[in-house]
A and B are shown apart, each in its own frame.
Chain A
Amino acid sequence: MTWWCFAQGTAWEWTWRPYPGVWLLAALLIGGYVAALRRLRPPGEPIPARRGQIVSFVLGVLALWLAADWPVGPLGAGYLVSVHTGQYLLFALVAPPLLIHGTPAWLLRLLIKPRPAYHTARFLSRPLIAFAIFNVVLLATHLPTLVDRLTVSQLGSFLMDMTWLASGLVFWWQVLGPLPELHPLSYPARILFLILNVFIPTVPAAFLTFADYPLYALYELAPRAVNLSARQDQQLAGLIMKVVGGLIIFGTASVLFFKWHGMEEREEGRM
């Protein structure tokens, strides 16, 4: 039994396989969340978390579970680069905003209470730092040499998935981070931050879409899991990266724009 999905080079079979490491991660997140809401709520807080926050956190964990467990996990780790790209989006662009939105502000404050955690949070809350981390991780983890080497071991595959998640948390913190003490960006700055981050993913997306030959040895030489050639699979990966990734970012930017607009109108109404 393997605890985390990795490329094994065997023919693909639609037979369910257990990945206990994925379940453990999901159980730790949900268990930790429930325990924190029940036991750590400060006396002044009227409710542990809003209903929407709980739903959001659970959806975030579900996104992680979907990305890492069978069949998406093993397909992405060893057979289809298009699924691998889908995993990236789930780990970096879908799960993190749901987890951040689902965590009540009092719990976030508790998490950054220790001095080193606070300083780390302050450092990572700088937009340029977040921009650099997110995009360096994006580019590095799509380099063929790195992907071909990392995804052939459980540890390597796990590290890549967790790096995506961590970079996603840093990225989305700039957009959704609710703590005033960490100096959140203004709405226009958040929108600008999001839009600036649309351009860098175009680089790997373009390479994936327009390369003459498959870029990743791993996916090129893997037994075919579906009726897609290695190049078609790679082109699909490029489209997923560009179109779905773009939709998530532009969609969020639009929501922020309307929130900003609403806030401005309310302020004008007060005056």
Chain B
Amino acid sequence: MPLSVGGALSTLPARGRFLRALAGLAVLSGSVACNPNAQPKPGELRGILLPDPLPKIDFTLANTAGEPFAFRQQTDGYVTLLFFGFTYCPDICPVHMANLAAVLRKLPLRTANRVKVVMVSVDPDRDTPERLRTWLNAFDPSFVGLRGPIEQVNEIQRALNLPPAIKQQTSEDDYTVGHAAQIIAFTGDNRAHVVYPSGTRQADWAHDLPLLVEADWPAQ
């Protein structure tokens, strides 16, 4: 009897410590798993992680209403998806825009409202403000369309490590524009940690956008 009592008494503190440690671990793991502001782990995002995040550059171009749009200032705090394209683009641009619009329509409003899609025209000669607006409205009226001199647009692209747009004559009176196909995703910390190439699917956006919105990237 004494042995059994003694044995029971002697094991209690150890079991208590074990249970306390277990509870602590559970709380810790719970806080990591449930914290919506945690930084996405490598491999968790389906976009391509940049080894060195890109700072959100400061530029001003005209929006489709003809008003100046200060990119850094007017997208501050939003997940901003920046794309360089043109409305005569036959494949990549409309697919990117259609996929983003489809996913934003399905995401919870509080997530969708924290995402801004900005398309900068690489064909300002043909993409008049009206044409650009009509084209973007076909996907989502909230999408921002920007245009400016091609030299300035190319300068912005170079600053983002993107190749400048190249006009390619397809016939005597027609041309197309070769341009970067990826979408750069700036997060709330005003940096881009991830880019989305051509071929990014709706399911990929639906997976990543909530993570990008909720992520808390460490300060620079």
Contact = CB atoms under 8 A, between A and B. Distances in A.
Given A220-B201, A229-B102, A213 B206 contact: yes
Contacts of B102: 213, 229-231
B98 A223 contact: no
Interface in A195-237: 212-214, 217, 220-224, 229-231
A244 B198 CA distance: 35
Interface stretch (B32-40, B78-86, B89-97, B155-163): B89-97
A222 to B, nearest CB: 8
Given A229-B102, A230-B102, A217 B201 contact: yes
A212 B91 CA distance: 23
In this complex, which of A11, A217, A221 has the most chain B Cβ atoms within 10 angstroms of its Cβ?
Answer: A221
B202 A224 contact: no
B95 A213 contact: no
Interface string A252-265: 00000000000000
B11 to A, nearest CB: 53
Nearest to B96: A221
B106 A212 contact: yes
Interface in A26-46: none
Nearest to B198: A221
Given A212-B106, A213-B206, A217-B201, A229 B91 contact: no
Contact of A213 (B91, B98, B198, B201): B201
Interface in B200-214: 201-203, 206
B91 A220 contact: no
A223 B96 CA distance: 10
A214 B200 CA distance: 12
Interface residues of B, number: 15
A230 B91 contact: no
B99 interface: yes
A41 to B, nearest CB: 54
A229 B201 contact: no
A188 interface: no
A213 B90 contact: no
A213 B90 CA distance: 22
A219 to B, nearest CB: 11
B91 A10 contact: yes
Interface in A41-74: none
Given A10-B91, A11-B90, A224 B98 contact: yes
Nearest to B106: A212
A221 B90 contact: no
B199 interface: yes
Contacts of A224: 94-95, 98
Contacts of B91: 9-11, 223
Nearest to B204: A213
A223 B201 contact: no
B202 to A, nearest CB: 4
Contacts of B201: 213-214, 217, 220-221
B143 to A, nearest CB: 15
B126 to A, nearest CB: 16
A221 B90 CA distance: 12
A223 B203 contact: no
Interface string B179-212: 0000000000000000000110111001000000
A220 B94 contact: no
B95 A223 contact: yes
20 contacts: A10-B90, A11-B91, A212-B106, A212-B206, A214-B201, A214-B202, A214-B203, A217-B199, A217-B201, A221-B95, A221-B198, A221-B199, A222-B95, A223-B90, A223-B91, A224-B94, A224-B95, A224-B98, A230-B202, A231-B102
Interface of B: 90-91, 94-95, 98-99, 102-103, 106, 198-199, 201-203, 206
Given A10-B90, A217-B199, 8 more contacts: A212-B106, A213-B203, A221-B95, A223-B91, A223-B95, A224-B94, A224-B98, A231-B202
